[in-house]
Amino acid sequence: MATPRDTNALKRAHRALLELARLRSFHGDNLAGDVRTLTEIAAHAVDVERASVWLLDANKTKIVSLDLFERGPARHSTGLELLVADHPAYFRALEEQRLLAAHDAVKDAETREYRDEYLLPLGITSMLDAAVRERGVFAGVICFEHIGPKRRWTTEEEIFACAMADLVSLALESSRRLVTEAALAATERREREIFENTRDAIFLIGVRELGDYVVEALNPAAEAVCKHKSAQLRGASLAATMPAQVAAVVLESVDECARSGVPLTREIATQHPLDRWFDATFVPIRRDDGSVYRVACIARDVTDRVHAEREREALQLQVHRSQKLDALATLAAGVAHDFNNFLMGIIGNANLMLESGQLDGESLERLQQIIDVANRARDLVRQTMTFSRKEHLRRTPLAVAEVVADAVKMLASTLPRGIRVTVDVGVRDAKVLGDATMLHQVLANLLRNAVQAMGDSGELRVGLDVVSVDAEMTKKLAPLRVGRHVRIEVTDTGPGMDAATQARLFEPFFTTKPQGQGMGLGLAVVYGIVREHDGVVIVTSRVGEGTTFRVYVPLLEDATSEVVPATGAPSANPTSSATSVRRVLFVDDQSYVANLGAAMLKRLGCEPVISTDAPQALATFSAAPDAFALVITDYAMPQMNGVELATAIRGIRANVPIVLMSGFDAAFDGERVAKVGIHAILQKPFTLALLQQVLDRALRANESATDGAA
């Protein structure tokens, strides 16, 4: 039969549970408040001095009070800690059983570990503790602590303690669920913000089964790429939403990602309607069982980077090509200079023999063949000098349209019938400061190459316009400067060229023509002439799509600009000779050239004095400066070059005429020639007639200057 105490305890427990049932609590949004309510109700219901809730920390090394209620002072406190390692029997009992009822807490095997540090100081005699579990795992405890005479806990009180422990578990799980849901919602919100606002295109691709993939969602960036809204494509087959060449790469990548479950990255290039490049990363998304049910494709537009890399590679190629061609040009100039000396000996001596009149018949014919072949070699050397930019330009303001018209007109008579020519001259009055002969050679070479590329049929288009080159364009068209330029375009519909051929196109002696049909100097000459005109020439070509050459030359904004004088260009038909028996100092470090010069001077009625050493020649002149009517000196000599020798000689006798010989004359413009006091430049190899013209002009100029001074 139940005692009055048992009956009262049961009534209090029922009232407490009814009160808790009426509360709108345990939703998880206020765990601390829920626990405070539980401890207060529990303390009054069980009629104990202290009721508390404790939770294990994350490492399960200590237990911390979430709330401790004391009835007497009606006070709540938190934060008290007890180490698990100091109370092993107590915690082992709670892990193994649901309830721990210690009627004599000081002596009970599971609670006496608290005797000295907790029970005796606080006067606790009996304890009723129920384990709090979260998803079946021990997570904490609710404690009922009695102060006063020892107390035996009733069954109803033990049941009540277990019920309260369940309520704590409910509050704890509700709270943690809300925290998890809030964190999940925050994560989803951040993911949604990233999904909606990232500049990368994101495609969510559903995996129905391997090989069957559909579009589930697109972010705004992906919609911009596809030109369709996400709702329009949702549920559509992946292959049907993109061009065939892109679909093949994407489907292969999605399939590999779905099968392997491993992320992968691909570079994808699109064409029409968008000519773009993307770095696409494919990421598998799994179910709880590990199977892949979705693939996320994250595509970053790297078009600007690809263009920048290609521009950088093109610029590096251009710089490398320019450096290589400059090195070849220097080598070509040196070879040309030495070869001109050799030709000087061949052509000069052959002309002397020819003009001697001592040969006839077969010997005369063979000598003429020697001269013809040597002249062809001379022309080849001149082409080499043009490529190496060592050929002196005679610049004047000239209308480029006229040069284009003349070159096309000359080409017309040799064109195959199947080739059609279209000329588009956008500007007829555009002028450049240039050498008409050299620019004509540029056009002739480009037109001839275009015709040869097409064979018997095709279309040749020639264009002329004026373009403005800005700072950005100079990066691609180095060494052009900012400003307006004349642009000449020559386009053919021939077979085109691959990148390897284009990389070597302007190299001297490189040719794609059959053996015997080209020497490989034409485009090297074009390159050299255009560079000498402060311009550039570029080529655009694809195999099977033809070729376009573009020549850029600075526009002459003011056609009245001063014309650069042409020096050292003797008249082709001298009217008279000023030479007589006069002493001439002839200086050249090559003995065969010096001896040939002496022979040619003797033929012209002069008295030659030759020297193969510049310092020695200076000493010879110093010994008798008035004895010489003229000095002819080579430019490139060891110890002292021709300009230095001329300067020293003019320091001894200021009015002596001086002629400078050279295998190339790019270093000599009108201002420098005049400053040094050189009357003419004699380009090697030269003939007897040309030597006579130069001597006549130099002597006349000196006589005129002397008469004027008198």
Q: How confident is the model at residue 10 (pLDDT cuts 50, 70, 90)?
A: low
Instruction: Name the one residue in this structure whose structure tokens are 């000087």.
Output: 344
Give the dihedral sign, CA 89/93/95/100. negative
Q: Check residues 579 and 43 and name the one with the higher pLDDT.
A: 43
Average the pLDDT over 238-266 and give the result: 84
Tell whether the model's pLDDT for residue 353 goes beyond 50.
Answer: yes
Cβ contact 448:470 at 8 Å: no
Q: How confident is the model at residue 360 (pLDDT cuts 50, 70, 90)?
A: confident
Would the CATH topology of 198-301 be identical to that of 583-709? no
* pLDDT of res. 608: 94
* pLDDT of res. 271: 65
* pLDDT of res. 4: 54
Q: Check residues 124 and 391 and name the one with the higher pLDDT.
A: 124
* pLDDT of res. 193: 81
Gap between the terminal Cα atoms of the chain: 161
Q: How far apart are CA 684 and CA 672, in angstroms?
A: 20
Tell whether the model's pLDDT for residue 566 goes beyond 50.
Answer: no
* pLDDT of res. 555: 92
* pLDDT of res. 572: 35
* pLDDT of res. 362: 78
Tell whether the model's pLDDT for residue 242 goes beyond 90.
Answer: no
* pLDDT of res. 427: 85
Least confident of 7-11, 223-227, 521-525, 536-540: 7-11
Tell whether the model's pLDDT for residue 696 goes beyond 60.
Answer: yes
Tell whether the model's pLDDT for residue 569 goes beyond 50.
Answer: no
Tell whether the model's pLDDT for residue 565 goes beyond 60.
Answer: no
Span 643-685, pLDDT tens digits: 899 999 999 998 899 999 887 654 455 556 667 778 888 888 8
Domain 198-301 part of CATH 3.40.50.300: no
Span 140-155, pLDDT tens digits: 999 999 999 999 998 8
Q: How confident is the model at residue 697 (pLDDT cuts 50, 70, 90)?
A: confident
* pLDDT of res. 343: 77
Q: Which two tokens stand for residue 57?
A: 């920390």
Collapse the DSSP code of 550 into the 3-class scheme (helix H, G, I; strand E, B; otherwise coil) and give the result.
Answer: strand
Q: How confident is the model at residue 382 (pLDDT cuts 50, 70, 90)?
A: low
Task: Round the average pLDDT of the chain to a whole number and report it.
Answer: 81
Nearest to 660 by CA among 602, 588, 610, 604: 588
Tell whether the model's pLDDT for residue 29 goes beyond 80.
Answer: no
What is the assigned CATH class of domain 396-554?
Answer: alpha beta
* pLDDT of res. 562: 34
Least confident of 109-118, 301-310, 482-491: 301-310
Helix ranges, 30-112 (H): 31-46, 88-96
User: What residue segments make up the domains of the chain, in order of their start?
Assistant: 4-178, 198-301, 307-386, 396-554, 583-709
Tell whether the model's pLDDT for residue 509 goes beyond 80.
Answer: no
What is the assigned CATH class of domain 4-178?
Answer: alpha beta
Q: Phi, psi (5° rounding) for residue 147? A: -115, 130
CA 251 to mean position of chain CA atoms: 29
Q: Tell me, what DSSP letter sits at residue 152?
A: P
Q: How confident is the model at residue 2 (pLDDT cuts 50, 70, 90)?
A: very low
What is the assigned CATH class of domain 583-709?
Answer: alpha beta
* pLDDT of res. 190: 83
